[in-house]
Amino acid sequence: MVTSGMPPKLPALTLPALLEMKRARTRIVATTAYDATFGALFDRNGVDLILVGDSLGMVIQGRRNTLSVTMEMMVYHTAATARGVQRALLVADLPFASAPDPDTAFRNSARLLSEGGASMVKIEGSGYVLDCIRFLTEREIPVCGHLGLTPQSVHRLGGFKVQGRSDLAARAIVDSARAVEQAGASLLVLECVPVAVAAEVTAALAIPVIGIGAGAACDGQILVGYDLLGLDSGRRPRFVKDFLAGRDSADAAVQAYVQAVRSGSFPAVEHGY
């Protein structure tokens, strides 16, 4: 039999598979990508979840925050990334002001799935957002929540700051996480919260919790793809590690990141709050 010489197509990861990883205590490896080349790099080296984040406003466009990212930009970058992804679950951010109500959230989410090729959307916050999460999941659009430091709330929060330091703020995060799960979310990203708060949230929820700056107790970890390759702006948050340092290729760096998350050696104590 003549073959094309192309590598075998790997089975795509699904949401039930990620849930089973949580149950089996197999750490989930995630990163961001914004185009086909980086999507393929992370996908072929074993990353489980690839997020097309509105962080592209800062990483790609050089802006101070994510607020200027539009739906058109998100659809474009999601579609580009999808062309490089074979195995990983592809998640796309709903950008700032794209989900002010359930109907609008549905229209924009449907675009990210139908035009962009995503398998899931991510939405920041709680409160009124819970109605959007419920509306989307009832209409077969999987949702990933996002709590803690929510970049779209940068002005209200007064900057990119660790959240949940006080007992009251910590309790609010735990309660919001439960509410996001109850509304129908299948995953939760927890960003920049104290290690103890992240551990409590992870233990409280049946759905996988993906941490960034939230310690090692989460079910998985995510880093911005550029950050894990050492391609940062020079102002490196404490939760970031350069996995390219001391290695001779981007593939080797991603493999090291995957191994470090799976083994639990990353994040270490020095990467948490």
Per-residue pLDDT of the chain (273 residues; tens, 9 = 90+): 444 444 556 789 999 999 999 999 999 999 999 999 999 999 999 999 999 999 999 999 999 999 999 999 999 999 999 999 999 999 999 999 999 999 999 999 999 999 999 999 999 999 999 999 999 999 999 999 999 999 999 999 999 999 999 999 999 999 999 999 999 999 999 999 999 999 999 999 999 999 999 999 999 999 999 999 999 877 789 999 999 999 999 999 999 999 999 999 999 999 999
Contact 40, 84 (CB under 8 A): yes
Q: Is residue 7 part of a domain?
A: no
**pLDDT at residue 232, rounded to an integer:** 80
Q: Is residue 56 part of a domain?
A: yes
Q: How deeply is 154 buried, as exposed, middle or buried, from its count of CB atoms within 10 A (0-12, 13-18, 19+)?
A: middle
Q: Is residue 183 part of a domain?
A: yes
Q: Is residue 3 part of a domain?
A: no
Counting the structural domains of the chain, the total is 1
Q: Is residue 273 part of a domain?
A: no
Q: Which of 124, 181, 191, 200 is catalytic?
A: 191
CB count in 10 Å sphere of residue 111: 19
**pLDDT at residue 9, rounded to an integer:** 66
- State the CATH number of the domain containing residue 212: 3.20.20.60
**pLDDT at residue 229, rounded to an integer:** 97
Q: Angle 102-114/71-82 helices, nearest 10 degrees?
A: 30
Assess whether 191 carries a catalytic annotation.
Answer: yes
Q: Is residue 6 part of a domain?
A: no
| Residue-range definition of the domain harbouring residue 90 | 15-268
Q: Is residue 150 part of a domain?
A: yes
Considering only the C-alpha atoms of the chain, give the largest distance between any 2 of them, rounded to a whole number of Å. 66
Contact 214, 195 (CB under 8 A): yes
CB count in 10 Å sphere of residue 13: 18
d(CA 41, CA 83): 12
Q: Is residue 205 part of a domain?
A: yes
